Homo-oligomer: A and B are copies of this chain.
Amino acid sequence: MSMRQAPTRALDATTAASQVYAALKRDLIRGRFVAGEKLAISHLRQTYAVGLSPLREALNRLAAYGLLAQENQRGFRVPALKRRELDDIAGLRQQFEVQALEAALRHGDAQWEAELLAAFHRLKRADEQPDALEHWEQMHLQFHRRLLEPCGSVWLLRFIEQLHDQFDRYRRMAPAHQDLRAQLDVQHAELVELALARGVAAARELIHAHIQLSYDVAKSACSE
């Protein structure tokens, strides 16, 4: 038998804690939980079919990331959607992404251009997938990640990602958020063009406006 067995470590071998983390994070951003709601741990255990330890580890990670609020001896809560906080998040996003985009246009090479085009293509074709809605969101996130990737600052990218996740929780809770997609996709095409042409000034303007567009819709998700 020279036929090799499957390698000892499967490629997707990840811990239960990481899987619950990813699933919970997705559902939180998706808006599957009511803002302000208290999480019933024993209920989550059933929903996500995991034991207590990995579940609690995932909840702790999410709290440290800012997608959950942890209260002293009384568990975890989904943060409320506050207008004040949305303003804060959107403003910083605009500032950080304008800055990162400029740096990315200055540093990005041919390899980056190719990957950006690939990401854009996948975004355009997102409707054809099953569960088109969620798939578009995935591709959208990946497109923006790719766009800023060569900016040169790992920590800036980290903060941008975190703000993006926070922001999306508001945007996707807004009633009219799906009507936005067509408009956003036009801007995505323009962003790609400007990126390839290294149109720094115009790109800065556009990414700012791009965020503003979602921001204006996201406002309607806030209670206060």
Residues of A within 8 A of B (CB): 13-15, 17-18, 53, 56-58, 60-66, 72-73, 85, 88-89, 91-92, 153-156, 158-159, 163, 166
**Interface CB pairs A-B, < 8 A, 18:** A13-B73, A14-B72, A15-B72, A17-B60, A53-B56, A56-B57, A57-B57, A60-B61, A61-B63, A64-B64, A64-B65, A88-B154, A88-B156, A91-B153, A92-B153, A92-B155, A92-B156, A159-B159
Cα–Cα distance between A14 and B153 once the two chains are bound (Å) = 36
Q: Besides A15-B73, A62-B64, A155-B163, 6 other CB < 8 A contacts?
A: A13-B72, A53-B53, A57-B57, A60-B60, A92-B156, A155-B166
Q: Is B53's CB under 8 angstroms from A85's CB?
A: no
Cα–Cα distance between A53 and B73 once the two chains are bound (Å) = 15
Report B-chain residues with C-beta under 8 Å of the C-beta of A61. Answer: 60-61, 63-64
Cα–Cα distance between A166 and B14 once the two chains are bound (Å) = 27
> A64's closest neighbor in chain B, by CB?
B64
Q: Is A88's CB under 8 angstroms from B155's CB?
A: yes
